[in-house]
A and B are shown apart, each in its own frame.
Chain A
Amino acid sequence: MVVARTLYDKLWDEHVVRVEPDGTALLYIDRHLVHEVTSPQAFEGLRVAGRKPWRAGSVVATADHNTPTRGWERGLDGVADATSRAQISALDANIRAFGAAAYFPFLDRRQGIVHVVGPEQGATLPGMTLVCGDSHTSTHGALGALAFGIGTSEVEHVLATQTLLARKSKNMLVRVEGAFGPGVGTKDLALALIGRIGTAGGTGYTIEFAGAAIRDASIEARMTLCNMAIEAGARAGLVAVDERTLEYVRGRPMAPRGPDWQLALEHWKTLHSDPGALYDRLVQMDAAGIEPQVSWGTSPEMVVAIGGAVPDPETESDPVRRLGIERALQYMGLRPRTPIEAIAIDKVFIGSCTNSRIEDLRAAARILQGRHVADSVKLAMVVPGSGLVKAQAQTEGLDRIFVQAGFEWREPGCSMCLGMNEDHLEPGERCASTSNRNFEGRQGPGGRTHLVSPVMAAAAAVAGRFVDVRKLLS
């Protein structure tokens, strides 16, 4: 009898080169995405050891973490910080020396956030193993690829050997039935899930997302969800390949064509979990019951629905968790039991590998059409995920909607998700952000981040505080 396998089991089995007696496997890596921050020490390691990349044709590279979102007309000189400039230049030099299948350098019209560029270019394909020195590599699982973030030593290992030493994780199924209500989407689902299972709830697992709400979700919406799998502790998120996946991939610059396309389809259509496949853990959710979410603390699990309030640590019985809540409230400058809708904001950031794709920008623009950012908001900015997303948005006139509403329309990159470039919060500033992490200091030392969806960020910009975006839907 053939054993029923999960999608993760299939992807894993297909890539195992060999297995050590303790279960440590050598996993073949099909695609290696590279960016400027976690790669220089890996290339240097190759150089010192006199090694070459095993298969440079597996590498797709772009500069994103450190690049400025303004002043591109000044070229590399527009990168004010000398160490940032050196890091961007180091990537140029390393790709020149070691090679790549494709490179989208700073200022290239296709440059952008590595997790936006990969799928956009067809560099991410179903059935691949894909790694990148960035934890949000889980994003690519939305296309039925086994994708996860690795450290710099592992970047060097993959460059040198085309493999990764890995142990198989457990299988978790998050089944989401029903349909999202208006103004609610996969960002809210991701936050609600993390609120439920915690930021360590998925540790040691690969999470497969399935159910009617996932089948009905666009590929971009699935990327938002898989992107946040790591915030639940899971290194990888997955969604089975279906017609939407194939439709998304078809015709992308690096996607197979002609006879290869037919060959690929045969394989890709097997990339789903078998009926009866067993999971180590099952989490069921109802999309219709999910409301717009807002994080209130310094961990993505510190989240509530928009109608809720900041918690009271007095009601928490676990002492470690109580201390965590107290510290978070102190850092965030919030009092217990404050209604979320009473929290005023200073800045708004729409962007990041979680929410900077064209659908995210369209959704935010629909809320902002004919409205304006509140006077109390010091800065509202949109940072498209890539140059191609930016160009598409401009073709559709979305940039004009944002600018007329009082948003700044910037160049692509990671920007204020992690504040490595000059886009960051000042101490004490409070931000409605479509990014993925509300850690202390993440968006700038002393900065206070509230994670929301693009439409909730747009609504907050208009109101100057968090509001239920559903009140703004016509």
Chain B
Amino acid sequence: MQAFTRHQGLVVPLDRPNVDTDQIIPKQFLKSIRRTGFGVNLFDEWRYLDRGEPGQDPVQRVPNPDFVLNQPRYRGASVLLARRNFGCGSSREHAPWAIAEFGLRAVVAPSFADIFYNNCFKNGILPVVLEESVVEALFQAVAAQPGYQLVIDLAEQLVVLADGSAQHFEVDAFRKQCLLHGWDDIGLTLRHADEIRDFEALRLRRFPWLARDLSA
């Protein structure tokens, strides 16, 4: 997994509450059995005027000029500014895959849905929760100042605004370490394989039916 330490990038605002994962990556693209290829279909139904189907040539698509990601001033943005409850709905990890592949490294919002928040950390994306009033001020600043950038420092847990002021954000210590180092969760967990095996042996002895299969 790509590590996240300190990132400076252009901010693109997505001014809608409750953006769900069906919007982030519509279902027709979930038929893929790969982890890649989703970035071009990020926010497909908002981003394009024609109907999105798997396997289309991106050059032939008709971009929606009104959608924020298509506006020239936000080209190359790597920080998404969003409203409350971002990422609600389906557990599809295709949503953070699409976000990462598009080139976004962080999402800043007043709140996130749990599963999406969790999935971000598995894919090198930092979800940052800031106070609603701070997010509101950021929306205004981004609208007023073309080229508005943020610095996000995970080690210090700080978002540094363009005016030099800084906002602290919370992140669990364990997730923070994993993301700072780009560690693979499975490798980490398997260091405790003996503990898991002991726990499991006791549990299956106490509740033997948990290990039944259909043929038993």
Q: Which of A's residues lie within 8 Å of B, judged by CB? A: 17-18, 20-24, 26, 28, 30-31, 37-38, 40-41, 44, 49, 51, 54-55, 57-58, 65-66, 81, 83-84, 86-87, 90, 101-102, 121, 125, 127-128, 133-135, 149-154, 156-157, 160-163, 165, 167, 169, 199-200, 203-204, 233, 235, 253-256, 260, 263-264, 267, 299, 301, 320-321, 323-324, 327, 418-420, 437, 439-442, 445
Contacts and interface: CB of A to CB of B under 8 A. Distances in A.
B203 interface: yes
Interface string B1-21: 000000000000001111010
Given A51-B186, A153-B122, A420-B27, A263 B207 contact: yes
A253 B214 contact: yes
B195 interface: yes
Contact of B18 (A204, A267, A299): A299
Contact of A254 (B31, B83, B214): B214
A419 B27 contact: yes
Given A26-B192, A83-B32, A21 B173 contact: yes
A135 B93 CA distance: 11
Given A256-B212, A324-B16, A440 B22 contact: yes
A439 B31 contact: no
Interface secondary structure of A, over-half rule: loop
B51 A165 contact: no
B30 A149 contact: no
Contacts of A90: 33
Contact of A30 (B30, B51, B193, B210): B210
Given A26-B196, A156-B186, A320 B172 contact: no
A200 B189 contact: no
B210 A440 contact: no
Interface stretch (B59-67, B112-120, B140-148, B161-169): B112-120
Nearest to B186: A160
Contacts of A163: 189, 196
Contact of B196 (A23, A28, A83): A28
A260 B28 CA distance: 44
Given A26-B189, A151-B118, A203-B113, A441 B85 contact: no
Interface string B177-216: 0000000011001101101100110010001111111100
Contacts of B118: 150-151, 154
Contacts of B93: 38, 41, 133, 151-153
A150 B84 contact: no
A44 B17 contact: no
B35 A41 contact: yes
B23 interface: yes
26 contacts: A17-B199, A38-B93, A65-B30, A83-B32, A87-B31, A102-B213, A128-B210, A135-B90, A150-B115, A151-B93, A151-B122, A156-B186, A157-B186, A157-B189, A160-B189, A203-B112, A233-B88, A254-B212, A263-B208, A267-B207, A299-B20, A320-B17, A323-B15, A437-B22, A439-B23, A441-B22
Contacts of B34: 40-41, 44
Given A22-B172, A37-B30, A203-B111, A153 B185 contact: yes
A474 B178 CA distance: 61
Contacts of B28: 420
B113 A437 contact: no
B157 to A, nearest CB: 13
Nearest to B54: A83
Contacts of A134: 90-91
